[in-house]
Structure 1
Amino acid sequence: MAYRRGRSTLEEGRVIGVGAEAVLILCTWLGLKAVKKIRIRKSYRHKVLDEDLRRERTILEARLMYEARRLGVPSPTLYDVDLDNYCIVMEYIEGPKLREVMSKLRTKELRAILSKLGYAVGILHANGIVHGDLTTSNVILKEGIPFLIDYGLGSFSYDTEERAIDLHILLRSLESTHYSLSKKAFKMFLKGYSNALGREILFNVLKKVKEIRRRGRYVKERA
């Protein structure tokens, strides 16, 4: 995968999201509907350090997205990487976020979607990729297929704890937005995840998830 330095050939559009790390702009790239993600400067960081970190994170996110697509995991297609401007141009995935529609889905539909999501995450983990921000807001449904978006906090790792953090984040996301469905939904996800990684790895990852949750409760109790 090559990285380009200089201006991207695209038509600018409107801002559709502003986060702590980046701004998302809906745009057109060579006639295709796209999203331009620009990593923003952190004023509290030294200028040179900030530029280096933004460049590194831009490269890493592009690599993660590219590898995810190569593995067959539903993710946005990478269109362009502009290192001079710390930005990535990617496919715009049309559809609602999982968070927005979970409570409206029938059990059969929810099972199919979460099983597919679990399998996709399992494929990532099996190939040394962790998402880093696995929430229901970072899953977009397109024609019944869950697409993973925003690899901005992801990394390359086979570490069991890193895998467990992904699952812990997902479980917390389910509990905070759809508590009544959270246990059932997580089990549906785990079925697909197990199909990709196997029961032994699933057991080890879930064991670590429990440890992480215990640590979180301990910190709250001590606070």
Structure 2
Amino acid sequence: MEQPVTATADGADSILEVRVRLPECDPEIWRLLELAGSLSLGQVHEVLQAAFGWEDAHLHRFTANDPFARLHPVDGEIVEPPQWLPAAWCEEPTDLPEEDCSLDQLFAAGSGGAFYEYDFGDSWLHRLELVSRRPADGDSPPARLIDGARRGPLEDSGGFPGYEEIMDALADRSHPGHAEHSAWVAGIIGPDTPFDPAFLDIPAINRALAKQF
């Protein structure tokens, strides 16, 4: 685990209460986390992987604003906004190393929120919203899941439309794709593991986070 980047401007670390949601999922999938503001974005990536049950099998990036929002020209020129990636992936002038940016700095760069995209093919876009801030103390872990709803989508399930189709098929035995999608899910999570999209194991996630720090 890499070391945290910097604390806040006055040198004191803060604990940020951050709500992270997959806004296109219905019902909505979300997490409420307490995170040290000094965590690097590389560390935040690892936290989000654990919190949503991802397997870190694809590319990812952070942006201070919606990466899919329409860009408006400035002085007649379209300026691409910066994005934070692992240093090894930085190739363009707007690519910045995620290892050198803290969560505090990411929120400061935007307008009260930020975005994390995982798997550029399925494009799982997470919106990060800063709910509150308090001074850190000796008992504050760097990352803790407070609350949330529903398990994260399965890897390689086709993004929001694909995952919704899978959920519809699993819920309806008369669905023409029920058997096919049931077999696919069993192959992903194991044939003896029950799949409940509404279940979120908060204690298990916090045990995983405790091992990371």
After TM superposition, the score normalised by the length of structure 1 is 0.27
When you count helix as a share of all residues, which structure comes out higher? Answer: 1
After TM superposition, the score normalised by the length of structure 2 is 0.28
When you count strand as a share of all residues, which structure comes out higher? Answer: 2
Q: Which has the higher contact order (CA 8 A, sep 6+)?
A: 2
